[in-house]
A and B are shown apart, each in its own frame.
Chain A
Amino acid sequence: MDCAEFQRRLGTDPNALDADMRAHASGCAHCTRALAQAQALERRLVDALHVPVPADLVARVLAASRVDLEAVPAVAPPARIASAQAGVRPLRRARRRQGAWLALAAAAVLVVALGLTHWRANANSLPALAIAHVVAPDEHDALGLKTPLPRADVEATFAARGVHLVAAPPADVAYVAKCAIGGTPIVHMVMPESGGPVSVMYVPGARERASESLRRDDLVARAVPMERGALVMVAREDRAFGAIENAWRNAIEGPQGAAIGEQ
């Protein structure tokens, strides 16, 4: 092995030293230094890549998953169909019966497939994702906040998501943060209403065709389409949803549905 080959393999994986590499390093001061430097960098690299993991990650994943898990039945192992039929049936009758079974099986598969498709669409819908986000343990504290935030904080958070509010946002926003649901960046807010706190999420770029509601875990969620996104509201009751939707439509789209200043 020459120095070039040693360096190439060292750069590919400094931890995978075979006998040839060790033998070469033992007789080459230059490559011995290179080995020490590479291994030092590797140790730093390991440290640097190990970013701290949020302490409640496992609890959060399990809690947020629970909504979804309860909606998904455990997949039962395929049932074995007993095929032992005593005696010999006439061919036509057997074929007719086989056809009937096939038709029945096809219908069952169709029903299951349609059900799964519906469930998957439902599980990934904005209301479902919003509820999963709200019930995460680290979101609980936000629901207890009542002091209104400065308007500038709300505007700045929207701006960070590429949305410029064209009118004043509702004054009673007690919590605002850049979050993500289903991998999509959102603005997450909490508005303390008389009937309890309402979590409000604006999802820039979301393409909702129509309003969609979901009731789950004693919560009701409603997603409403907006010009360039969607607004999702989650609360124990939906009494305030209409007023909140109007207020945010006014702030984001303007009183007359004016052009939005989204970037």
Chain B
Amino acid sequence: MTEDASQRGETRSTGSADNRRRQFETLVQAHSAELYRHAYWLCGQDALAQDLVQETFLRAWRSLDALRDAAASKAWLATILRREHARLYERKPMPSTDIDELELHDEAPGPDGRGENAALRAAIARLEPKYREPLVLQVLGGFSCAEIAQQLEISESAVMTQVFRARQKLKELLDGDGKEVAHGLR
């Protein structure tokens, strides 16, 4: 290879790495907020949600070449996030103290129970994960039932049933005694 050809090859390589890095940073810019909210409703903790987002993006970086369709990046990242969250439970069960201290208290600082949404947030937190997660994916992520079914690896009809029941349960929790709306994700 001539020196010129070698230099051209090096430039292409550097350019490719730069493009890859830019693509990654664009993903971080575009999807961090939504991923954080998704993570927050998965785990109920601000710091843990931030770490999950970080882990998600690290894994995304390593597999960036697998992302062929930029339009699919949201679903792709959501899937990585769910796996990262599941991995937490594979490593070790979450300590019960963490469940008790989830940052969903009405008076607690942080991105949670303050303001007029406090009761609804507490009610969402009380939903069983099998109801909460598809609801979050639908309302927050804007995914269709078919897309959610694909992500959660369940049938579309099961997703439809779960989001229906999630809304029913939220109404019951909001209409019922306020004491019923306890703190902490279920």
Contact = CB atoms under 8 A, between A and B. Distances in A.
Interface string A38-61: 100110111111111110011011
B121 A41 contact: no
Query: How many interface residues does chain B have, given as a range?
Result: 35 or more
B181 interface: no
Contacts of A183: 48, 51-52, 55, 84-85, 87-88, 91
Interface of B: 13, 16-17, 20-21, 24-25, 28-29, 32-33, 36-37, 40-41, 45-48, 50-55, 57-58, 61-62, 64-65, 84-85, 87-88, 91-92, 95, 97-98, 101, 111-112, 117, 120-121, 124, 135-136, 138-140, 145, 160, 163-164, 167-168, 170-171
Given A11-B167, A62-B25, A75-B65, A47 B117 contact: yes
A205 B145 CA distance: 38
B37 A41 contact: no
B84 to A, nearest CB: 7
B107 to A, nearest CB: 16
A29 interface: no
A31 B167 CA distance: 16
Given A51-B40, A53-B33, A161 B163 contact: no
Query: How many interface residues does chain A have, given as a range?
Result: 35 or more
Contact of A61 (B16, B47, B57, B65): B57
A69 interface: yes
B164 A12 contact: yes
A54 B50 contact: yes
Contacts of B45: 180
A177 to B, nearest CB: 8
B32 A53 contact: yes
B50 A57 contact: yes
B136 A49 contact: yes
B54 A61 contact: yes
A53 B37 contact: yes
A86 B140 CA distance: 60
A123 B55 CA distance: 11
B61 A69 contact: yes
